[in-house]
């Protein structure tokens, strides 16, 4: 009897969730969602666990949220997995974080392939351990023809160094006469960034209550809707993603201009 009640409650909860998703799908969905996945360390500390246990739990959340994003029809999900500043952390933590992509892909790649997900990365891969690079390259190769959700990992990524590298490449092309200085505009500059094949994010989510961008996609976030939430990344669930998308759908994006009804 108890189990029946529990089952009934679970299916009722699922109905409520499905209704909520149907409502959301009736409105424009952010095509590109970027997430600063923060709070793994605090999640572990609250449980007197080592910080790496928080990162392990965070990896499980990545799996859940990838599935949800795919289900919602989000086109690109960019996840800040390791920043150029994260090398300053204790060696055991860096070593663990470096192994996570391999761990994630060794168990999850078949599902990503089946779900038509395309894996991509941005950041300087040269400094990653060879086995991590191999696992990531293998996943990119195996999913290169998929045309569903793009799962883009920012690995050893820093926005300032991305911008500086773009400036160097662009100025070298100007010197060689490949680009005319007068032709440099937003679109031209964007094509020198690591995100050249992606649209700018429509929605940025940062978990754990911190209110900053931490050197993440500074150029690309110029007109992105920002959503900060207190939940720690390992506790982030589909409900939190839905909450952020609902907030996005209530906003009016003007890109510095006015909406039709605001023009007198
Ligand atoms: C910030 O939290 C989080 C990171 C530096 C790492 C994020 C990585 C994951 C969530 C897993 C990535 C998974 C794959 C598949 C690559 P923090 O440690 O700074 O948290 P704190 O601010 O509470 O200390």
- Give 18-64 pLDDT, tens digit per residue: 899 999 999 999 999 999 999 999 999 999 999 999 999 999 999 99
Is the pTM higher than 0.85? The answer reads: yes
Q: Is 86 one of the catalytic residues?
A: yes
Report the alpha-carbon distance of residue 23 to residue 79 in Å, rounded. Answer: 26
* Structure confidence at residue 260 as a pLDDT band (50, 70, 90): confident
For residue 93, which atom of ligand 1 is closest to its CA? Answer: 18
Fold of 30-158+200-250: Undecaprenyl pyrophosphate synthetase (3.40.1180)
How far apart, in whole angstroms, are the C-alpha atoms of residue 73 and residue 35?
A: 16
Q: How far apart are CA 201 and CA 69, in angstroms?
A: 14
pLDDT of residue 3: 60
pLDDT digits (tens, 9 = 90+) for 148-194: 999 999 999 999 999 999 999 999 999 999 999 999 999 999 999 99
Residues 72-93 have a mean pLDDT of 97
| Rounded distance from Cα 38 to ligand 1 centre (Å) | 6
CA 100 to chain centre: 16
User: Of the residues 45, 54, 81, which should be mutated to test ligand 1's pocket, given the most ligand atoms within 8 Å of the CB?
Assistant: 81
Give the closest residue to 69 by CA, choosing from 197, 196, 203: 203
> Would you place residue 264 in the very low, low, confident or very high pLDDT band (cuts 50, 70, 90)?
low
**Catalytic member of 86, 156, 200, 202:** 86
Sign for the pseudo-dihedral over CA of 234, 235, 238, 243: negative
| Ligand 1 in reach of 38 Cβ (< 6 A) | yes
Residue nearest to atom 5 of ligand 1 (CA): 82
pLDDT of residue 6: 58
- Whether 84 lines ligand 1, by a CB cut-off of 6 Å, is no
Residue ranges of the domains in the chain?
30-158+200-250
């Amino acid at each position: 009897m108890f189990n029946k009640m529990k089952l009934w409650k679970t299916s009722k909860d699922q109905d409520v969730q499905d209704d909520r998703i149907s409502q959301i799908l009736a409105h424009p969905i952010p095509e590109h969602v970027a997430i600063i996945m923060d709070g793994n360390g605090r999640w572990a500390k609250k449980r007197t666990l080592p910080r790496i246990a928080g990162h392990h739990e965070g990896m499980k959340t990545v799996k859940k949220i990838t599935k949800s994003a795919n289900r919602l029809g989000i086109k690109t999900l960019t996840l800040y997995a390791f920043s150029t500043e994260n090398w300053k952390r204790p060696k055991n933590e860096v070593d663990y974080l470096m192994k996570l992509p391999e761990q994630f892909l060794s168990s999850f790649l078949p599902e990503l392939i089946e779900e038509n997900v395309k894996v991509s990365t941005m950041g300087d891969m040269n400094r990653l351990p060879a086995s991590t690079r191999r696992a990531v390259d293998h996943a990119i190769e195996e999913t290169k023809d998929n045309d569903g959700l793009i799962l883009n990992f920012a690995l050893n990524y820093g926005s300032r160094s991305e911008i500086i590298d773009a400036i160097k490449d662009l100025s070298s092309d100007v010197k060689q006469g490949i680009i005319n200085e007068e032709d440099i505009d937003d679109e031209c500059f964007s094509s020198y960034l690591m995100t050249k094949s992606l649209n700018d994010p429509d929605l940025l989510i940062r978990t754990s209550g911190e209110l900053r961008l931490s050197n993440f996609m500074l150029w690309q976030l110029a007109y992105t809707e920002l959503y900060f939430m207190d939940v720690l990344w390992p506790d982030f669930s589909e409900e939190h993603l839905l909450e952020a998308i609902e907030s996005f759908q209530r906003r009016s994006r003007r890109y510095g201009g006015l909406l039709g009804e605001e023009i007198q």
